[in-house]
Amino acid sequence: MNIAVTGATGTMGRTVIETANDRPDVTVAFGIDQAAEEGPIDGVRVYAPSELEALLEESRPNVLVDFSAPAATLSFVKAAADAGVAVVIGTTGFDEAGLSTLRDASETVPVLKASNFARGVWALLRAVEDAVRAVPGYDIEVTETHHNRKVDAPSGTANTILERIDSVRGEAEKVYGRKGNQPREGDEIGVFARRAGNIRGEHEVLLAGNDEVLTLTHRAESRRVFAEGALDAAVWLAGSHPGWYGFADVLGDA
Ligand SMILES: NC(=O)c1ccc[n+]([C@@H]2O[C@H](COP(=O)([O-])OP(=O)(O)OC[C@H]3O[C@@H](n4cnc5c(N)ncnc54)[C@H](OP(=O)(O)O)[C@@H]3O)[C@@H](O)[C@H]2O)c1
């Protein structure tokens, strides 16, 4: 199994390369990053984005694994689709137009996108659905905490949690932070994004009512958990038919 890594000198890209190098089932052919001069990463050469098309043709990786930034991802995925290479996308923060471009690419090659590659987060999502079903009418608030360099807010994972809550209770109004005279209204869901230090990623769902409080929390203690999940996804995706996939497919939980 041969992969290419885009966003290779970023925090996640580096972790993906280092994690792959520790696994017997994955080899990293090359990395791509606009900061290519920061390479090589753990022995893997890193090239400028302008070289991606030629490198894909030359080394024919099975899968391109992307942890970069939305605009960059769109151009990387186009190059992969043109070359017939499958893509695993960890990058978050796409707008509707971006998501639609990614879905278009999935008509040509297999595309697997997940806002979170931690297996525990998928257990959290199932637990949240169960909990919301079990306590109808309780107030729900969602809080996520990440390192101080994270760009998009709320996190892609928080958005996935909100979708799961809506899938059980119907679509609720989301209130992104509160300030001044802003009492809680009806079944709105408050959403809070904290940014501090080097925190890898925490998500908490608070359900409260009827004199009781239930909290469900996931905390990533190392970025390796995301890298391992993304590599498991790449191994699963290699050889799949063109189409749009998620991490639930890898976990057999679709
Ligand atoms: N799905 C998951 O499980 C998961 C887990 C963690 C993070 N993420 C997501 O993964 C993404 C990356 O996170 P990170 O913490 O690794 O961020 P990061 O440290 O900023 O890494 C992103 C890398 O992509 C590079 N890049 C940006 N624009 C580019 C372009 N146009 N061409 C080539 N390279 C470009 C950046 O270069 P510069 O530094 O020069 O800008 C940087 O090296 C984010 O969207 C984050 O939310 C997802």
For the CA of 89, the closest atom of ligand 1 is 1
User: For helices 224-237 and 119-134, what crossing angle results, to 10°?
Assistant: 100
Determine contact, residues 105/145, Cβ cutoff 8 Å.
no
For residue 239, pLDDT beyond 80: yes
Q: Which helix (H) or strand (E) holds 56?
A: helix 52-59
Domain with CATH 3.40.50.720 in the chain: 2-117+223-251
Q: How confident is the model at residue 254 (pLDDT cuts 50, 70, 90)?
A: low
Kindly report the pTM of this predicted structure.
0.91
Closest to 161 in 3D by CA, of 212, 214, 123: 123
Q: CA-CA distances (angstroms) from residue 168 to 18, 161, 199?
A: 39, 11, 30
Pocket of ligand 1 (CB under 6 A): 7, 9-13, 33-35, 49, 67-69, 72, 90-93, 114-117, 226
For residue 253, pLDDT beyond 90: no
Domain with CATH 3.30.360.10 in the chain: 119-219
Q: For the residues 173-183, what does the mean pLDDT come to? A: 97
CATH topology assigned to domain 119-219: Dihydrodipicolinate Reductase; domain 2 (3.30.360)
**Tens-digit pLDDT profile for residues 68-100:** 999 999 999 999 999 999 999 999 999 999 999
Closest to 135 in 3D by CA, of 209, 218, 217: 209
Q: For the residues 205-232, what does the mean pLDDT come to? A: 97
Nearest CA to ligand 1 atom 44: 91
d(CA 247, CA 233): 7
**Tens-digit pLDDT profile for residues 7-20:** 999 999 999 999 99
Which residues are the active-site residues?
146, 150
> Within the chain, how many helices (H) and strands (E) appear?
8, 12
**Per-residue pLDDT, 106:** 98
Of 3.40.50.720, 3.40.50.2300, 3.30.420.110, 1.10.3720.10, the CATH number of 2-117+223-251 is: 3.40.50.720
d(CA 197, CA 147): 5
Q: How confident is the model at residue 4 (pLDDT cuts 50, 70, 90)?
A: very high
